[in-house]
């Protein structure tokens, strides 16, 4: 309370001062001065103890300010698709607040599937408003780790397998959040591509793969998005923890990229005082220091950057140069956020957020299969719909690890379809399978009672009996956010669907030809029944408006336009990391033997046909591509080249298509992928409408990373631009040369 009173007193004092008057305001409180000037002035007034107090946590999600100087505490919240409920000051237990419910936005795999940069800006702005309303300084997200295998439990939090797509989608998200005076903390830097042994596995990866695949989205976040914070990852690289890693944090992040922001440890990611001091870490959170048990309380003063750091300074073992640099960066963060008097006030679960969340969900849903145009459902001709599957009723905003949310509300697929169908169409539900009957995560209960006493055979029999007399059968299954599915802390155990869903789907296909499978997941899943099922929808984790968005696509209120941000393999061994035997590693080491050949790059190199390709997605209308042209046939180093193609909607309804540009280097000194995504545009067309779509690239799109030169190289010679509707559906090509 004393801290709060002091802070309020400073604010009131400032409000009463006229900066042009005789009274001299301290530079750090004068917002007419540059941030650099304010930082230096504040730093000069601080004691060593106050500085050390700012570089480590004081509670589970906060770090100290300087009450004496009116510098506020810093408060953080997990994201990236909603603001986490409050926990107790010194415990992981729920705080029991009644006003910390949020709007749950779709998970980031869904955002990436929109392939829409404007939607990403809307997403960031909206979730940033919620974080600001809750008075958070830092939102711990977004995540941009690359989808290396379909087994990573946290893939649902990330933006897919392609570094270019992730780079272009993360930048507007950052700008949207930070427009609210809330910092993004882009995570997890870097190479955090599995949950198995995540805090102790050392990643061995060649420099080409590091720079071409795993770093581009982080670089874009820093240099284009201007993120104010970066979170280190749990794993090791070059046998050094990534949260205090000389090469990643000092050499690359700060020296090569010029990052001026704050590096925050993942919770428990710091392991050593001296390395934390020297190797780029600024703020230490969640540490389990020597002698500390998981969740042990009241130990913040024993963190690596707390008393041990202060003792080293006072003994003369180390100076304050590094400490001053850390505090400079933290003060800069303060002036951009907490001490920025022009910060907007934010909003929580507003009508705009509801509309935004639903729009994101609708645009991200991917139509994977639609034989005989089973979809959309014409409700005027449909008397009865059978909805089958636990995921039709199970709340998905709770669970999954640190991104678990306390949503103000969540519309289930069953309720969404009931609401949309109205009284004219009967909706009958059967559970079909039992997955996870639990309804609690991180101390928060959904209130659902999913207990089931019937056997699997009884549930299947009931589902088939309900399905055989329906005009349509909508099976809603997939994964959930339980351990070993889409969840932090543990990876999946295989590619297949759990809980015997494959058997259930095949049985449903036998009794009703109008079967639609809606897969709720943040990962690819095997589909051995793909030829038995006429229609398949990839539904992701869609947040509060999930049911309404799914219903809108099923009945045709919304024409699906999402495209896959990662490859769906036929079998697990079709994935490069799995095929080469280096997942999850052994003896504390994992080697990325596939190098740069991740996702579709691996499939095309090995000539492996996927189940569904990267960039793939269908529509309820059809599109015709014209001839691909370029504005020049040869470019010099400093030139740009523009490729143009006409797109015509040849169907009967309005729809959106995502035009994708891939570049091939036809002859190079080092091995290169068959082609790589280097541009995309989403275009909306009315029935019969035609538009020209142009995509411009420069030499950077032709370059590869040369590890010997430690630089990006574009070799003169022949290149080819391919434009298509997915990585495997190329509509046209044009050749050009680089001088």
The per-residue pLDDT for range 488-529, each reduced to its tens digit, is 999 999 999 999 999 999 999 999 999 999 999 999 999 999
Q: What are 429-471's pLDDT values in tens digits?
A: 999 999 988 877 777 778 888 999 999 999 999 999 999 999 9
Pairwise CA distance, residues 264 & 184, whole Å: 11
Q: Which helix (H) or strand (E) holds 363?
A: helix 351-364
Q: Which two tokens stand for residue 481?
A: 């956010």
Q: Say what the pLDDT of residue 293 is.
A: 52
Q: What are 251-281's pLDDT values in tens digits?
A: 999 999 999 999 999 999 999 999 999 999 9
Tell how strand 202-204 and strand 236-237 pair up. parallel
CA distances for 221 relative to 142, 307, 404, 407, 545, angstroms: 10, 33, 24, 28, 28
Task: Name residue, tokens 């409408």.
Answer: 689
- Which DSSP symbol is given to 230? E
pLDDT band at 392 (very low <50, low <70, confident <90, very high): very high
* 682 three-class SS: strand
Give CA torsion, residues 520, 525, 527, 533, to 10 deg: 20
Pairwise CA distance, residues 229 & 186, whole Å: 7
The average pLDDT across 4-14 equals 47
Q: Say what the pLDDT of residue 110 is.
A: 98
Q: Note the Cα 642 to chain centre separation in Å.
A: 30
pLDDT band at 91 (very low <50, low <70, confident <90, very high): confident
On the 0-12 / 13-18 / 19+ scale of CB atoms within 10 A, 458 is exposed
Q: What are 44-77's pLDDT values in tens digits?
A: 999 999 999 999 999 999 999 999 999 999 999 9
Q: Say what the pLDDT of residue 378 is.
A: 97
Q: Which two tokens stand for residue 715?
A: 């070799």
Q: Which two tokens stand for residue 682?
A: 């989403």
Q: Say what the pLDDT of residue 436 is.
A: 86
pLDDT band at 610 (very low <50, low <70, confident <90, very high): very high
CB atoms within 10 A of CB 716: 12
Domains of the chain: 2-89+100-336 (3.20.20.300), 362-601 (3.40.50.1700), 621-738 (2.60.40.10)
Whether cis (ω within 30° of 0) applies to the bond prior to 221 is no
Q: How many residues are given for the chain? A: 739
What integer best gives the mean pLDDT of the chain? 95
Pairwise CA distance, residues 733 & 731, whole Å: 7
Q: Say what the pLDDT of residue 363 is.
A: 98
pLDDT band at 90 (very low <50, low <70, confident <90, very high): confident
Above 60 in pLDDT, residue 297? no
Q: Say what the pLDDT of residue 164 is.
A: 98
Q: Say what the pLDDT of residue 1 is.
A: 47
| Helix extents (H) in 81-215 | 108-114, 117-133, 163-178, 207-209
Q: Say what the pLDDT of residue 230 is.
A: 98
The average pLDDT across 523-536 equals 98
Q: Say what the pLDDT of residue 12 is.
A: 44
Q: Which two tokens stand for residue 589?
A: 């080491």
Above 60 in pLDDT, residue 14? no
Above 80 in pLDDT, residue 684? yes
Active-site pick, 78, 100, 162, 266:
266
The average pLDDT across 175-187 equals 98
Above 60 in pLDDT, residue 17? no
Q: Say what the pLDDT of residue 298 is.
A: 61
| 197 in active site | no
3-state helix, strand, coil split of the chain in percent (to 5) is 30, 20, 45
Q: Which two tokens stand for residue 355?
A: 């509309």
Q: Which two tokens stand for residue 505?
A: 């789907």
Q: Say what the pLDDT of residue 21 is.
A: 46
- Long-range CB pairs of 495-501 (<8 Å, 24+ gap) are 495/150, 495/151, 495/524, 495/525, 495/526, 495/569, 495/571, 495/572, 496/525, 496/526, 496/528, 497/525, 497/526, 498/435, 499/390, 499/433, 499/434, 499/435, 500/433, 500/456, 501/389, 501/433, 501/477
Pairwise CA distance, residues 586 & 203, whole Å: 11
Q: What are 309-351's pLDDT values in tens digits?
A: 999 999 999 999 999 999 999 999 999 999 999 999 999 999 9
Pairwise CA distance, residues 732 & 694, whole Å: 14
């Amino acid at each position: 309370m004393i801290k709060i009173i002091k802070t309020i007193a400073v604010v009131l004092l400032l409000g009463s001062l006229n900066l042009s008057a005789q009274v001299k305001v301290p530079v750090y409180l004068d917002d007419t001065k540059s941030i650099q000037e304010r930082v230096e002035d504040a730093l000069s007034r601080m004691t060593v103890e106050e500085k050390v107090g700012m570089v480590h946590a004081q509670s589970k999600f906060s770090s100290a300010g300087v009450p004496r100087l009116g510098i506020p505490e810093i408060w953080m919240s997990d994201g990236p698709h909603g603001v986490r409920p409050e926990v107790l000051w010194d415990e992981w237990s729920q705080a029991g607040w009644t006003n910390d419910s949020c709007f749950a936005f779709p998970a980031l795999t869904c955002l990436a599937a929109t392939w829409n940069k404007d939607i990403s800006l809307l997403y960031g702005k909206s979730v940033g408003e919620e974080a600001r309303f809750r008075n958070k300084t830092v939102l711990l997200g977004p995540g941009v780790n690359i989808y290396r295998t379909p087994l990573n439990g946290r893939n649902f939090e990330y933006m897919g397998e392609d570094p270019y797509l992730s780079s272009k989608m993360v930048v507007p998200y950052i700008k949207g959040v930070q427009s609210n005076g809330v910092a993004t903390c882009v995570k997890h830097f870097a190479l955090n591509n599995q949950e198995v042994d995540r805090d102790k596995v050392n990643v061995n990866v060649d420099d080409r793969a590091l720079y071409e695949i795993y770093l581009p989205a982080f670089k874009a976040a820093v240099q284009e998005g201007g993120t104010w914070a970066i979170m280190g990852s749990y794993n090791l690289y070059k046998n050094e923890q990534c949260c205090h890693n000389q090469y990643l944090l000092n050499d690359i992040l700060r020296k090569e990229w010029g990052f001026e922001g704050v590096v925050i440890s993942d919770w428990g990611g710091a392991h050593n005082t001296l390395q934390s001091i020297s190797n780029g870490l600024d703020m230490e959170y969640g540490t389990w220091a020597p002698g500390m048990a998981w969740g042990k309380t009241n130990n913040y003063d024993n963190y690596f950057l707390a008393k041990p750091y202060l003792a080293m300074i006072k003994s003369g073992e180390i100076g304050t140069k590094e400490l001053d640099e850390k505090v400079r960066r933290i003060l800069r963060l303060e002036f951009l956020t907490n001490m920025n008097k022009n910060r907007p006030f934010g909003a929580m679960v507003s009508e705009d957020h509801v509309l935004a969340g639903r729009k994101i969900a609708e645009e991200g849903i991917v139509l994977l299969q639609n034989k005989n145009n089973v979809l959309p459902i014409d409700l005027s001709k449909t008397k009865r719909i059978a909805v089958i599957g636990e995921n039709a009723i199970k709340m998905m905003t709770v669970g999954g690890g640190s991104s678990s949310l306390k949503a103000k509300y969540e519309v289930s697929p069953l309720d969404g379809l009931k609401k949309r169908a109205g009284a004219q169409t009967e909706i009958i539900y059967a559970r079909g399978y039992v997955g996870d009957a639990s309804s609690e995560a991180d101390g928060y209960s959904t209130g659902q009672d999913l207990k089931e006493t019937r056997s699997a055979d009884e549930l299947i029999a009931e589902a088939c009996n309900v399905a055989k007399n329906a005009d349509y059968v909508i099976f809603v299954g997939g994964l959930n956010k339980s351990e070993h599915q889409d969840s932090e802390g543990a990876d999946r155990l295989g590619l297949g669907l759990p809980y015997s869903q494959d058997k259930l789907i095949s049985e449903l296909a036998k009794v009703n030809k109008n079967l639609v499978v809606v897969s709720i997941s943040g990962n690819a899943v095997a589909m051995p029944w793909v030829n038995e099922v006429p229609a398949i929808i990839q539904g992701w984790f869609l947040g509060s408006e999930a049911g309404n968005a799914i219903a809108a696509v099923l009945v045709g209120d919304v024409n699906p336009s999402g495209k896959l941000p990662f490859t769906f393999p036929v079998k697990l061994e079709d994935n490069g990391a799995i095929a080469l035997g280096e997942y999850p590693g052994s003896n504390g080491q994992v080697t990325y033997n596939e190098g740069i050949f991740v996702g579709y790059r691996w499939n095309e190199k090995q000539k492996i046909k996927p189940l569904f390709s990267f960039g793939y997605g269908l529509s309820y209308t059809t599109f015709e591509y014209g001839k691909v042209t370029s504005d020049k046939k040869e470019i010099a180093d400093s030139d740009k080249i523009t490729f143009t193609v006409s797109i015509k909607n040849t169907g009967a309804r309005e729809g959106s298509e995502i035009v994708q540009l891939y570049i091939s280097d036809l002859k190079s000194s080092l091995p290169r992928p068959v082609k790589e995504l280097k541009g995309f545009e989403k275009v909306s067309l009315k029935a019969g409408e035609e538009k020209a779509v142009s995509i411009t690239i420069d030499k950077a799109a032709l370059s590869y990373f040369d590890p010997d030169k430690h630089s990006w190289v574009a070799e003169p010679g022949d290149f080819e631009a391919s434009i298509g509707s997915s990585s495997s559906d190329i509509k046209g090509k044009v050749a050009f040369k680089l001088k």
